[in-house]
Structure 1
Amino acid sequence: MENNIIEIKMKTNTIKRVGRSDFVNMGPIRLRQPLPTQQIEMIDPFILLHHYGPYTISPESNPFDLGPHPHRGFEPVTFLVQGEQLHRDSLGHESVVKAGDVQWTTAGRGIIHAEGPTKEFVSKGGTIEGIQLWLNLPEEKKMIQPNYQHAKSEEFEVVSSPDNKVKTKIVAGSLNEKQGKIVTQTSVNAFMIEAKQGGTETVHFTSSHQGMLYLLKGKVRVNNETTLELNKNQLVYFNQDGDGFKIEAENNSLLLFLSGEPFNEEVATYGPYVMNTQTELLEAMRDYQIGKMGFLPVS
């Protein structure tokens, strides 16, 4: 009865735009890029979303191995869906990220990191798949001390739907009075939602946030009006006019929900840097070249 009362009172967010997740080439890597696109430039504070894989990894083929590279002014986040990756950075961190884990890097004033399948994973072979998210930092936090967080899959709180067919993993933020494992610099939610066929769930988030829902696999009906499925529409961008959204899984599905307080600031990007002005971008390039972001040798 209590769940029915909650659903009746909840006003669902209307859908602002539905987006595709087409393939793009990033150097030798081919991956999906639902954000940004020609239709959706940015969902403040989210700058970029890459869905990489599934790639078949073997000693003869290892397309996803990113050597040392810098970042400044934002938070690069990895949600690993399948496989195993090694993270190394100029702060001295080295950790193996496994399926279901999340690594949350706060680049701040500058960090150099590298990631790719572990040597052991390449040797035995397997499949790797994940999400790379760029979460912006507000102007007053762009030059904070860099930091790295690695949270394991089993460490996250999980919210189950009334029918027990939908499990929502709380990576960051809060849902139904449960808190995410990741400590965030800004007001943000990040939930990984796994739904079995026929499962339904209502997910709440504050109307002060901009929110989006991205489908990694399966087929899902959103708010009884829009269907998300692979190779068609995979992203929903919500208006800030409700208390949340409803999903019904037509197939076994996996989705990522993100919401955050928009900054409404100027954004300047170039390569691996996200700042507020072109001058700050030039300063970032200079600081990297003279070693102010630290050093990380090639493994």
Structure 2
Amino acid sequence: MRTIKQQHRAISAPIDDLVTYRALPTRAVEHLDPFLFLNHHGPQTYPAPNRGLPFGPHPHRGFETVTFILNGDIMHQDSGGHQSVIGPGGIQWMTAGSGLIHSEISSDEFKRTGGPLEILQLWVNLPAKDKMTAPHYTGLQEPEIPTVSLDEGRVLVHAVSGEWAGTAGAVQPLADVQLATINFQAGGRLSLSIPAERTIFFYTIRGRLRVNGQETEARQLVEFNYDGDELQVEASSDAVLLLGHARPFGEPIVAYGPFVMNTEAEIRQAYQDYQAGKFGVWQG
């Protein structure tokens, strides 16, 4: 079995009136190559009316954002002309690539009526060869994401990317990154074989789990060693897990604000390109 190196508790990092816990990066863990960043927004209930999410227009280059909407919604718009409103159970996969501007705010309906909100956003690095690829966006509602039922229905795997129990995920990304959200009923069990050289991303969203002999709970990120290929998970309560794995790129990571590149010179170029209007024109 893969051994556990350390567990990291997400830190409180509120943004305006948005309850936020940051699981990555923290003082204890900078990144889990190629996974760079995870913010867990909520759970909370917004009143009616409300201002909604605070993520107005901002640029990105050099990586991908994967957003999981558990409750509430997100209205996406970007300088590539993409627009969508994604509701509970849906995901957004945005390849920033060479650069674009986007906003992620609440729909007019949510701002009018309020309600429960819980959203996770994960940043996944791109390898150097793909950092300047053309930007791309995919927004999918819950029914568009394949679900795999395991352990007599006590484990439901929502296959976001890659392949899970022989089922292809909804998105096939540039790099071999496998991601899923997994719902467990208490007592549900999941066994997976993940090659030892791959980085595992294991973040408990809700509930309590036991993984490879250790207990973990909501808002904890489990960091694994690279020494085994077996993963065994058992739910101590009803639980929701964000699980991913990928081969680490092993490349230099230089991150500054909304840009993630391989050198400081590339970061400077990103700022110059953004200021020169090369990330597209914002039509908000």
TM-score, scaled relative to structure 2: 0.95
1:245 shift after superposition: 1.1
SS in 2 for 1:163: helix
Q: Determine the C-alpha separation between the residues in 2 that align with 1:167 and 1:244.
A: 19
SS in 1 for 2:233: strand
1:78 shift after superposition: 0.4
1:63 shift after superposition: 5.2
Please say which of residues 30-39 and 210-219 is displaced more in the overlay: 30-39
Q: Determine the C-alpha separation between the residues in 2 that align with 1:240 and 1:159.
A: 27
Is the 8 Å Cα contact of residues 74 and 106 (structure 2) preserved in structure 1?
A: yes
Please say which of residues 149-158 and 43-52 is displaced more in the overlay: 149-158
Question: For each residue in 1:73-112, what CA deviation from the matched residue of structure 2 results, as whole angstroms up to 9, or x when unmatched?
Answer: 0001101110111110111111111111110000000011
Q: Choose from 101, 110, 116 the match for 1:112.
A: 101
Q: Choose from 184, 200, 203 the match for 1:195.
A: 184
Question: What are the within-5 Å matches in structure 2 for residues 252-263 of structure 1?
Answer: 252-263=238-249
Counterpart of 1:150, as a letter, is G
Question: What are the within-5 Å matches in structure 2 for residues 140-289 of structure 1?
Answer: 140-223=129-212, 225-230=213-218, 234-289=220-275
Please name the residue that 2:61 is paired with.
72
Is the 8 Å Cα contact of residues 18 and 42 (structure 2) preserved in structure 1?
A: no
Is the 8 Å Cα contact of residues 194 and 255 (structure 1) preserved in structure 2?
A: yes
Q: Choose from 66, 88, 91 the match for 1:102.
A: 91
1:281 shift after superposition: 0.8
TM-score, scaled relative to structure 1: 0.90
Please name the residue that 2:278 is paired with.
292
Q: Choose from 19, 24, 29 the match for 2:13.
A: 24
Q: Determine the C-alpha separation between the residues in 2 that align with 1:163 and 1:235.
A: 27
Q: Choose from 26, 35, 42 the match for 1:46.
A: 35
Kindly indicate whether residue 118 of structure 2 is the aligned counterpart of residue 129 of structure 1: yes
Q: Determine the C-alpha separation between the residues in 2 that align with 1:59 and 1:176.
A: 42
1:280 shift after superposition: 0.8
Is the 8 Å Cα contact of residues 163 and 200 (structure 1) preserved in structure 2?
A: no
SS in 2 for 1:39: coil
Is the 8 Å Cα contact of residues 195 and 253 (structure 1) preserved in structure 2?
A: yes
Question: For each residue in 1:237-292, what CA deviation from the matched residue of structure 2 results, as whole angstroms up to 9, or x when unmatched?
Answer: 22222223111111110010011111111111111000111111111111111110
Q: Determine the C-alpha separation between the residues in 2 that align with 1:205 and 1:173.
A: 12
Q: Which runs of 5+ in 1 are unaligned?
A: 1-11
Q: Determine the C-alpha separation between the residues in 2 that align with 1:82 and 1:49.
A: 17
1:62 shift after superposition: 2.9
Q: Choose from 84, 87, 90 the match for 2:76.
A: 87
Q: Determine the C-alpha separation between the residues in 2 that align with 1:242 and 1:169.
A: 24
Is the 8 Å Cα contact of residues 35 and 201 (structure 2) preserved in structure 1?
A: no
Superposed CA RMSD in Å reads 1.5
Is the 8 Å Cα contact of residues 151 and 182 (structure 1) preserved in structure 2?
A: no
Is the 8 Å Cα contact of residues 52 and 106 (structure 2) preserved in structure 1?
A: no
Is the 8 Å Cα contact of residues 68 and 297 (structure 1) preserved in structure 2?
A: no
Is the 8 Å Cα contact of residues 63 and 131 (structure 2) preserved in structure 1?
A: yes
SS in 2 for 1:286: helix
1:151 shift after superposition: 2.1
Q: Determine the C-alpha separation between the residues in 2 that align with 1:169 and 1:60.
A: 32
Question: For each residue in 1:135-192, what CA deviation from the matched residue of structure 2 results, as whole angstroms up to 9, or x when unmatched?
Answer: 0011111111000011221122222222321111110011222111102010111011
Q: Determine the C-alpha separation between the residues in 2 that align with 1:259 and 1:201.
A: 15
Is the 8 Å Cα contact of residues 198 and 246 (structure 2) preserved in structure 1?
A: yes
